[in-house]
Structure 1
Amino acid sequence: MKNKMRKLIAAIALSLPFSVALANEGGPKLEKAPIDIQDTESLQRGAQIFVNYCLSCHSASMMRYNRLEDIGLSEEQIKANLLPEGAKIGDQMNVAMDKKDAKAWFGATPPDLSLIARSRGADYLYGYLRGFYRDPSRPTGWNNLVFDKVGMPHIFWEWQGEQALKTEKDAEGHEEHKLELIKAGSLTKLENGKANTVEFDRRMADLTNFLVYMGEPAAVKRQQIGYVVLMFLGLLLFPLVYLLKKEYWRDVH
Structure 2
Amino acid sequence: MKKLLILLVMLGLPAGAFAAGGHKSCGAIECDPVKIDLGDQASLQRGARIFVNYCLSCHSAGFMRYNRMGKDLGISEELVKDNLLFAADKVGDLMKAVMPKDDARRWFGVAPPDLSLIARSRKPAWIYTYMRSFYRDGKSPSGWNNTVFPHVAMPHVLYEWQGDQRAIFKKDEHGAEVLERLEIERVGSMQPQEYDRAMRDLTNFLVYLGEPAKLVRYQIGIYVLIFLAVFLVFAYLLKKEYWKDIH
Pick the TM interval, shorter chain: 0.7 to 0.9
Sequence identity percentage: 54
1:112 aligns with: 114
CA 1:116–1:103 in structure 2 vs 1: closer, same or farther (change >3 Å)? Answer: same
Q: Return the alpha-carbon distance in structure 1 between the equivalents of residues 207 and 193 of structure 2.
A: 21
1:246 aligns with 2:247: no
CA 1:149–1:165 in structure 2 vs 1: closer, same or farther (change >3 Å)? Answer: same
Q: Return the alpha-carbon distance in structure 1 between the equivalents of residues 51 and 179 of structure 2.
A: 33
TM-superposed deviation, 1:74: 1.3
Contact 2:170-2:179 within 8 A present in 1 as well: no
2:192 aligns with: 197
Q: Return the alpha-carbon distance in structure 2 between the equivalents of residues 157 and 111 of structure 1.
A: 21
Q: Return the alpha-carbon distance in structure 2 between the equivalents of residues 114 and 47 of structure 1.
A: 13
Contact 2:88-2:96 within 8 A present in 1 as well: no
Once the two structures are superposed, residues 113-166 of structure 1 have per-residue CA deviations (whole angstroms, 9 ceiling, x without a partner) of 111111111111111100001111101111001000011110010100111111
1:225 aligns with 2:220: yes
SS in 2 for 1:163: strand
1:5 aligns with: none
Amino acid in structure 1 at the alignment position of 2:203? T
Contact 2:29-2:148 within 8 A present in 1 as well: yes
Once the two structures are superposed, residues 188-227 of structure 1 have per-residue CA deviations (whole angstroms, 9 ceiling, x without a partner) of 1111110001000000000011111100011011111111
Q: Return the alpha-carbon distance in structure 2 between the equivalents of residues 108 and 85 of structure 1.
A: 21
TM-superposed deviation, 1:107: 1.1
Contact 2:169-2:178 within 8 A present in 1 as well: no
Q: Return the alpha-carbon distance in structure 2 between the equivalents of residues 60 and 90 of structure 1.
A: 13
Q: How many residues align?
A: 221
Contact 2:165-2:182 within 8 A present in 1 as well: yes
Contact 1:167-1:177 within 8 A present in 2 as well: no
Which runs of structure 2 are paired with 1:113-152 in the superposition (5 Å)?
A: 113-152=115-154
Amino acid in structure 1 at the alignment position of 2:35? P
Q: Return the alpha-carbon distance in structure 2 between the equivalents of residues 42 and 26 of structure 1.
A: 28
2:15 aligns with: none
SS in 2 for 1:130: coil
User: TM-score, normalised on structure 1?
Assistant: 0.82
TM-superposed deviation, 1:178: 2.8
Once the two structures are superposed, residues 64-83 of structure 1 have per-residue CA deviations (whole angstroms, 9 ceiling, x without a partner) of 10112111111111111111
2:56 aligns with: 55
1:32 aligns with: 33
2:209 aligns with: 214
TM-superposed deviation, 1:37: 1.1
Where do 5+ consecutive residues of structure 2 fail to align?
1-23
Q: Return the alpha-carbon distance in structure 1 between the equivalents of residues 66 and 226 of structure 2.
A: 32
Amino acid in structure 2 at the alignment position of 1:140? S
Where do 5+ consecutive residues of structure 1 fail to align?
1-22, 171-175
Q: Return the alpha-carbon distance in structure 2 between the equivalents of residues 216 and 72 of structure 1.
A: 17
Amino acid in structure 2 at the alignment position of 1:244? L
TM-superposed deviation, 1:112: 0.6
TM-superposed deviation, 1:238: 2.9
**CA-atom RMSD, angstroms?**
2.1
TM-superposed deviation, 1:25: 8.6
CA 1:209–1:85 in structure 2 vs 1: closer, same or farther (change >3 Å)? Answer: closer
CA 1:241–1:204 in structure 2 vs 1: closer, same or farther (change >3 Å)? Answer: same
Contact 1:64-1:90 within 8 A present in 2 as well: yes
